[in-house]
């Protein structure tokens, strides 16, 4: 944790980087790192781990949380579920301290001014301190909330993200990987949503065989959650990094898209119109711009990367192509040879790693 970061309740993404993991977690630190490297990232801010720590300490629930975890039998599903339920209930009863609440409200107001809107739609994502590190993929262990608008809703989702550190899945994952519960803190990222016409994931190697000379892009209509969660079979493109040639192009039937819900807010899954289901979701120029960005991210980190991207329908090309997350690829990077781990392909393992819980308000 950097000097000066310890007492900060919120930090703009532009003011964080890989040296800020203790304050903002892996996911948020990566966003700041990419901004400094000249990658196009939607603006936003991180609610720091110090805010989370103050929240559980000042309210007096910290000791209760760890007492519940100490009494839990990690081998029994019912025991883990019961412990999780007790902790979640505790956290929902506790108000966010006024100074932290005020800092989050001010940061959201600044973001709204920057985006020239009264209530900027944001993604509210957890970012744990043991997450998105090269040797341990915690991706998807906590919650994500999409298209959240207004200060009160943002505050509510920040608290929900804090509580998601103690879902049964997150508790079990830490036990299995020998991460002490008290050592894993949580930050929350609040990031402007791209109004995506298409979105998806890309890898700076071929996840089917580990070939580092390729970039593989997968995408579908709407927000990227349908790709990440496996709801649709996405379009797939394999591109040679050096000559920038598309060597494989697989267009799938994309029948569902995740989009903004104009009626109730948040997001909804809707049917894709018949004429668009079999249309390619990306233009060639967009594919090449994504590859250019992927190569830049990989060169900056010096390792293969797993990247989430979005193309905003309201902004002209190429300024509409955004990177919303990037993490080290953790399957092939730790593997010496051979296309299989157990009975699962590298691709299946990568997609399992990318899976995360999506909360639709």
Task: Choose the CATH number for 196-359 among 3.30.470.20, 3.40.50.300, 3.90.850.10, 3.30.300.100.
Answer: 3.30.470.20
Task: Pick 279 or 184 by higher pLDDT.
Answer: 279
pTM value? 0.85
Q: Beta partners for 44?
A: 191
Residue 293, C-beta contacts closer than 8 angstroms, at least 6 positions apart = 39, 40, 307, 309, 321, 323
How confident is the model at residue 354, as a pLDDT?
53
Residue 139 above 50 pLDDT? no
Domain boundaries, the chain: 10-192, 196-359
How confident is the model at residue 140, as a pLDDT?
47
CA distance 344 to 11: 40
CA distance 226 to 254: 10
Q: What mean pLDDT is reported for the chain?
A: 88
How confident is the model at residue 178, as a pLDDT?
84
Q: Which fold has domain 10-192?
A: Dna Ligase; domain 1 (3.30.1490)
Residue 298 above 80 pLDDT? yes
Q: Which of 260, 252, 261, 321 is nearest to 281 (CA)?
A: 252
Q: How confident is the model at residue 338 (pLDDT cuts 50, 70, 90)?
A: very low
How confident is the model at residue 329, as a pLDDT?
87
Lowest mean pLDDT among 185-189, 212-216, 348-352: 348-352
How confident is the model at residue 348, as a pLDDT?
56
Q: How confident is the model at residue 90 (pLDDT cuts 50, 70, 90)?
A: very high
Residues 237-294: tens digit of each pLDDT: 999 999 999 999 999 999 999 998 888 888 999 999 999 999 999 999 999 999 999 9
Q: What is the mean pLDDT of residues 58-67?
A: 94
Most confident of 134-148, 178-192, 330-344: 178-192
Q: How confident is the model at residue 356 (pLDDT cuts 50, 70, 90)?
A: very low
CA distance 162 to 166: 8
Residue 24 above 50 pLDDT? yes
Q: How confident is the model at residue 198 (pLDDT cuts 50, 70, 90)?
A: very high
How confident is the model at residue 304, as a pLDDT?
95
Residue 191 above 50 pLDDT? yes
State the alpha helices, DSSP H only, in 179-261.
Answer: 225-228
């Amino acid at each position: 944790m950097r000097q000066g970061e310890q007492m900060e309740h919120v930090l703009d993404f532009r003011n964080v980087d890989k040296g800020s993991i203790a304050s903002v977690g892996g996911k948020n630190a990566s966003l700041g790192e990419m901004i400094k490297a000249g990658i196009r990232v939607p603006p936003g801010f991180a609610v720091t781990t110090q805010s989370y720590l103050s929240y559980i300490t000042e309210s007096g629930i910290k000791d209760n949380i760890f007492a519940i975890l100490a009494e839990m039998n990690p081998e029994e599903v019912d025991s883990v579920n019961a412990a999780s339920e007790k902790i979640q209930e505790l956290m929902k009863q506790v108000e966010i301290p006024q100074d932290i609440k005020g800092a989050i409200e001010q940061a959201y107001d600044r973001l709204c001014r920057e985006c020239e809107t009264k209530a900027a739609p944001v993604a509210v994502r957890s970012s744990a301190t043991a997450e998105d590190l090269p040797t341990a993929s915690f991706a998807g262990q906590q919650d994500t909330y999409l298209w959240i608008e207004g200060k009160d809703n943002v505050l509510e989702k920040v608290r929900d993200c804090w509580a998601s550190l103690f879902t049964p899945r997150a508790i079990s994952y830490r036990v299995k990987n020998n991460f002490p519960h008290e050592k894993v803190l949580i930050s929350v990222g609040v990031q402007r949503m791209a109004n995506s016409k298409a979105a998806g994931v890309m890898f700076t190697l071929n996840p089917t065989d580990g070939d580092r000379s390729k970039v593989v892009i997968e995408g579908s209509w709407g927000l990227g959650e349908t790709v990440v969660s496996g709801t649709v079979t996405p379009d797939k493109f394999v591109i040679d990094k050096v000559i920038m040639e598309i060597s494989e192009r697989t267009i799938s039937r994309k029948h569902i898209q995740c989009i903004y819900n104009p009626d109730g807010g948040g997001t909804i899954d809707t049917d894709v119109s018949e004429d668009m289901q079999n249309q390619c979701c990306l233009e060639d120029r967009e594919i090449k711009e994504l590859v250019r960005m992927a190569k830049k991210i990989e060169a900056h980190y010096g390792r293969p990367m797993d990247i989430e991207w979005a193309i905003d329908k309201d902004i002209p090309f190429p300024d509409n192509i955004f990177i919303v997350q990037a993490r080290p690829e953790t399957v092939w990077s730790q593997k010496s040879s051979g296309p299989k781990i157990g009975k699962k392909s590298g691709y299946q393992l990568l997609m399992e790693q990318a899976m995360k819980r999506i909360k639709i308000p």
